[in-house]
Amino acid sequence: MGQPIPARSDHHGDDHRDDDWWRSAVIHQVYVRSFADGDGDGTGDLAGVREKLPYLAELGVDALWFSPWYLSPMKDGGYDVADYRTVDPAFGTLAEAEKLIAEARRLGIRTIIDIVPNHVSDQHAWFRAALAGGPERDLFHFRPGRGEHGELPPNNWTSEFGGPAWTRVTEPDGIPGDWYLHLFAPEQPDLDWAHPAVRQEHEDILRFWFERGVAGVRVDSAALPAKDPLLPDLVEGRGPHPYVDRDELHDVYRAWRAVADEYGAVFVGEVWLPDAERFARYLRPDELHTAFNFSFMTCPWDAARLRTSIDETLAEHAPVGAPATWVLCNHDVTRTVTRYGRADTGFDFAAKAFGTPTDLALGTRRARAAALLSLALPGTVYLYQGEELGLPEVEVAREHIQDPMHARSGGTDPGRDGCRVPLPWAAKEPYAGFGSRNTPWLPQPDGWAMYAVDRQQDDPGSLLTLYRRAIRLRPAFGTGPLTWLPAPEGVLAFERADGLRCLVNLADTPVDLPGHTGILLASGPFDTGNRLPKDTAVWLRTRPARFSAPEESPS
């Protein structure tokens, strides 16, 4: 290890067309609130991101996906949008967002923003007008309650955050009145996508941001916005679901695609669906370009299950010609080093609990191997901020938790703040260099400084160095298919372009390396017999090198 990292001009392979950047990109997710605090007020902001653009360029990522940065009361970390055309003052200004988009682009980094079509904030102008009794009520789902005095919710739907999906309003005359639907928190009323004004407004919002140079949009809760107009009770297993994956949605996304095509912009959908064929419908050539791969993200650390997940992913994307995406973590789920260090290495929202025993050394070893695995697969890779530092999930003290999932679970669910703790940049600075003058919006735990960027950047053995090297080398794998190779049980072995191979050992014993002409990168040291140890991955070259890339012998 320790050789210089090649310059960014190596970044794309020969066959990589610029228009197709999104087919093989590495995309870094920025949760602005926790990224870097430029003005010192305790909350991350766009000034902080602008300062750190050189870091992101050096990491080698192709694009940044920003969780929502718009005006918001922050009842759900910005996923409660009050105005899409204003940047929240805690984050900065619209002018600053425009500068950030342009500055990033000059460094070769594109910007993806987050749009949340299912709902808005209860402070959005439309909802305030609706509560005041205006015609805007038709833009939401208001219904009379059931029961003698309308005291029961209109149907049996439950909120994704726990509790009923309905809240009763007090009418302007002071009398309890209709109920409104919210699949998430009560402060996130659902929009009625059957209303043409809702569709028009979102197309206008897309244009507003595409005009400002945005290259892509992440579509939040993309399978939820359309509802059965009769809002019937949910009876599992009977007929089409009243609000998940409704056919009407595809028309919406076709219209969005037409807008995006005018600007050459792309979409990534947050589509959680168990049915592969239904999932792939969102990726038809005139709909969304890509969607997150939650099957891979929630898959346990098990060779057979991972291989099945990879095969199914590739098989479901092939018929629609969409590239796969590979995701290990995001702002909603348990950090990778923690997840892989637990008895249950999969992810399930329902299984989250306080006090789960975790072996971080084990989890980190596996996370290093998983980084090489995902970066060797064909398609796009999403990298959530801090994953490249190996940050663990933090068990945030109850009194500091802000995520509504915690309160709405009655305090049993630790919520999602554990993966949203402000990033450590400089070990010796206050708040690990996050930039705040006082305690940041979520406190950092003891020992956080040990993960700081300045501790890792020159350390050849750090996870940050591994990510930087892997991202630089990744284009060598090309954009062609993956071929599985025979391998001992518990070992994943596949070949990509030019005889480049990735091997991941998930078995209990070390394995011999197959014949090779060079070792590009390994996630950890080999054993004394020069074999690949358990929970370790390696990138091998099996033919003479066609171009000069830094090769190394793992130490």
492: its two tokens: 């994943």
- Least Å from the CB of residue 82 to ligand GLC: 14
Smallest gap from residue 377 Cβ to ligand GLC (A): 23
Residue 79 or 243: the one with the smaller Cβ distance to ligand GLC is 79
Q: Which tokens sit at 468?
A: 């930087």
Q: How far apart are CA 535 and CA 504, in angstroms?
A: 7
Is residue 364 within a helix (H) or strand (E), and if so which, with residue range? helix 360-376
Number of other residues whose CB lies within 10 A of the CB of residue 302 = 14
Is 220 one of the catalytic residues? yes
Rank residues 192 and 270 by Cβ distance to ligand GLC and give the closer one: 270
Q: Which lies closer to ligand GLC via its Cβ, residue 221 or residue 479?
A: 221
Question: Residue 498 phi/psi, 5° resolution?
Answer: 55, 30
Residue with smaller CB distance to ligand GLC, 184 or 425? 184
Pick from 33, 31, 49: nearest CA to 102 = 49
What is the closest distance, in whole angstroms, from the C-beta atom of residue 210 to ligand GLC in the complex?
22
CB of residue 112 to ligand GLC, shortest distance in Å: 14
Q: Determine the Cα–Cα distance for residues 434 and 423; give it in Å rounded to an integer.
A: 6
**Closest separation between CB of residue 490 and ligand GLC, Å?**
33
Rounded to the nearest whole angstrom, what is the least distance from the CB of residue 313 to ligand GLC in the complex? Answer: 20
Backbone angles phi, psi at 482, to 5 degrees: -110, 135
The CA distance from 345 to 437, in Å, is 37
In terms of C-beta density within 10 A (0-12 exposed, 13-18 middle, 19 or more buried), how is residue 201 classed? Answer: middle
Q: Which lies closer to ligand GLC via its Cβ, residue 282 or residue 526?
A: 282
Q: How far is the CB of 416 from ligand GLC (least distance, A)?
A: 7
Distance of CA 156 to the CA centre of its chain: 30
Closer of 121 and 536 to ligand GLC (Cβ): 121
Nearer to ligand GLC, 182 or 496 (CB): 182
Out of 122, 190, 220, 403, the active site residue is 220
Bridging pattern class, strands 380-384 and 26-30: parallel
Residue 374 CA to residue 216 CA, distance in Å, equals 22
Report which of 78, 85, 63, 37 is spatially closest to residue 331, judged by C-alpha positions: 78
State which residue, 227 or 534, has the beta carbon closest to ligand GLC. 227
- CA–CA separation, 246 and 226 (whole Å): 6
Q: Which residue is nearest to ligand GLC (CB)?
A: 79
Residues in the chain: 555
Question: Residue 406 — φ and ψ, nearest 5°?
Answer: -70, -55
Q: Which residues bind ligand GLC (CB under 6 A)?
A: 76, 79, 116, 184, 220-221, 270, 331-332
**Of 251, 262, 311, 344, catalytic:** 262
In terms of CB distance, is 279 or 431 closer to ligand GLC?
279
Tell me which residue has tokens 């959530």.
384
Q: How far is the CB of 356 from ligand GLC (least distance, A)?
A: 21
Tell me, what amino acid is at 68?
Answer: P
Q: How far is the CB of 270 from ligand GLC (least distance, A)?
A: 6
Query: Which contacts of 15-23 are long-range, i.e. CB under 8 A and separated by 24 or more positions?
Result: 15/478, 15/479, 16/475, 16/479, 19/264, 21/62, 21/63, 21/110, 22/63, 22/216, 22/266, 22/289, 22/290, 22/323, 22/380, 23/323, 23/379, 23/380, 23/479
Catalytic (active-site) positions: 220, 262
